């Protein structure tokens, strides 16, 4: 299964092996990754699971849907390039090597 790395604002990195979790958010929650409270549990209702995807990975992920984009914009006023809700990123083998930055704040 894929290895996904979460990078904190201070540069601290945690590489996690995904198991059978349905989404990247579930991988982060299982490992108690800091800065990702994911308060709604993946219901697309909280925007506390934001991550920044590196430019070279953006096109390799399923694109954000309109509801995801609206949730981000409603929360922080814009949708920065690469900004995603990690509860909307399904875990697949293709994610192996993905590095995600956790923003300093979740809104």
Give contact residues for ligand FES (rule: CB under 6 A). Answer: 25, 38-40, 42-49, 85, 87
Nearer to ligand FES, 11 or 69 (CB): 69
Q: How far apart are CA 52 and CA 80, in angstroms?
A: 9
Q: Which residues contact 30 (CB under 8 A, 6 or more apart)?
A: 16, 19, 21
Q: How far is the CB of 46 from ligand FES (least distance, A)?
A: 3
Residue 15 or 45 having the CB closest to ligand FES = 45
In angstroms, what is the minimal distance from the CB of 79 to ligand FES? 14
The angle subtended at Cα 41 by Cα 105 and Cα 104, nearest 5°, is: 10
81 and 58 Cβ atoms separated by less than 8 Å:
yes
Nearer to ligand FES, 32 or 56 (CB): 32
Minimum Å gap between C-beta 84 and ligand FES is 10
């Amino acid at each position: 299964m894929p290895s996904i790395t979460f990078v904190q604002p201070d540069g601290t990195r945690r590489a996690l092996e995904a198991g059978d979790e349905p989404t990247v958010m579930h991988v982060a929650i299982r490992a108690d990754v800091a800065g990702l409270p994911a308060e709604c549990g993946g219901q697309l209702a909280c925007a506390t699971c934001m991550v920044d995807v590196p430019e070279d990975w953006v096109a390799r992920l399923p694109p954000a849907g309109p509801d995801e984009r609206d949730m981000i914009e409603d929360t922080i006023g814009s949708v920065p390039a690469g900004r995603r809700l990690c509860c909307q990123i399904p875990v697949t083998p293709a994610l192996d090597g993905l590095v995600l930055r956790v923003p300093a704040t979740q809104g």
